[in-house]
Amino acid sequence: MADIATHDTDHATDHGHHSSTGLSNNKLAMWLFLGSECLLFGGLISTYMLYRGRVQNGPHPAQIYDIPFTSVSSFVLLMSSLTMVLAVSSAHRKDDSKTNLWLTITALLGATFVGGQVYEFTTFYREGLGFTTSLFGSSFYSLTGFHGVHVSIGVIMLLSLMGIIKKNKITGDKAEVVELIGLYWHFVDVVWIVIFTLVYLIPS
Amino acid sequence: MTTVTETHEDAQEHGMSDAGYIKIAIILALITALEVSTYYVDFGPLFMPSLLIMMVVKFVMVVSYFMHLKFDSKIFSFLFYTGLGLALFVYFAALATFKFFIA
Contacts of A82 in chain B (CB under 8 A): 21-22, 24-25, 66
Q: How far is the C-alpha of A116 from the C-alpha of A121, rounded, in Å?
A: 9
Size of interface A-B (CB pairs under 8 A): 137
pLDDT, tens digit, 9 for 90 and up, residues B24-60 = 999 999 999 999 999 898 888 888 999 999 999 999 9
The number of domains in chain B is 2
Q: Is B41 strand, coil or helix?
A: coil
Range of the domain at B79: 73-103
Q: Which residues of chain B have a CB within 8 Å of the CB of A43?
A: 87, 90-91, 94
**Cβ contact (<8 Å) for A35 and B15?**
no
pTM: 0.85
Residue among B4, B32, B100 minimizing CB distance to A22: B4
Q: Which of B55, B80, B100 sits opposite A49 (nearest CB)?
A: B100
Same domain assignment for residues B52 and B68: yes
pLDDT tens for B64-96 read 999 998 888 888 898 889 888 988 888 888 888
**ipTM > 0.95, yes or no:** no
| B83 in the same domain as B65 | no
Chain A hits for B48, Cβ within 8 Å: 202
Residues B68, B97 share a domain: no
Instruction: Tell whether B28 and B43 lie within a shared domain.
Output: yes
Verify that B6 and B37 share a domain, yes or no.
yes
pLDDT tens, residue by residue, A76-112: 999 999 999 999 999 999 888 899 999 999 999 999 9
Q: How far is B92 from chain A (nearest CA, A)?
A: 8
pLDDT at A156 over 80: yes
pLDDT digits (tens, 9 = 90+) for A34-84: 988 998 998 899 899 888 888 888 888 888 999 999 999 999 999 999 999
Residues B18 and B47 in one domain: yes
Pick from A46, A80, A95 the residue to mutate for testing the B interface (most B CBs within 10 Å).
Answer: A46
The shortest CB-CB distance from B62 to any of A45, A47, A190 is to A190
Amino acid at position A110, single letter: G
Same structural domain, B65 and B89: no
Instruction: Tell me if A62 sits within 8 A of B39, measured CB to CB.
Output: no
Q: What is the per-residue pLDDT for A151?
A: 97
Judge whether residue B4 has pLDDT over 90.
no
Contacts with B25 from chain A: Cβ below 8 Å: 78-79, 81-82
The CATH homologous superfamily for domain A32-201 is Cytochrome c oxidase, subunit III, four-helix bundle (1.20.120.80)
Domain co-membership, B47 together with B63: yes
**CB distance A46–B52 less than 8 Å?**
no
Domain ranges in chain A are: 32-201
CA terminus-to-terminus distance, chain B: 59
Q: Is B4 on the interface with A (CB under 8 A)?
A: yes
Distance CA B29, CA B101 (A): 32
Q: How deeply is A200 buried, as exposed, middle or buried, from its count of CB atoms within 10 A (0-12, 13-18, 19+)?
A: buried
Helix/strand/coil (H/E/C) assignment for every residue in A126-175: HCCCCCCCCHHHHHHHHHHHHHHHHHHHHHHHHHHHHHHHHCCCCCCCHH
Query: Are B25 and A82 within 8 A, CB to CB?
Result: yes
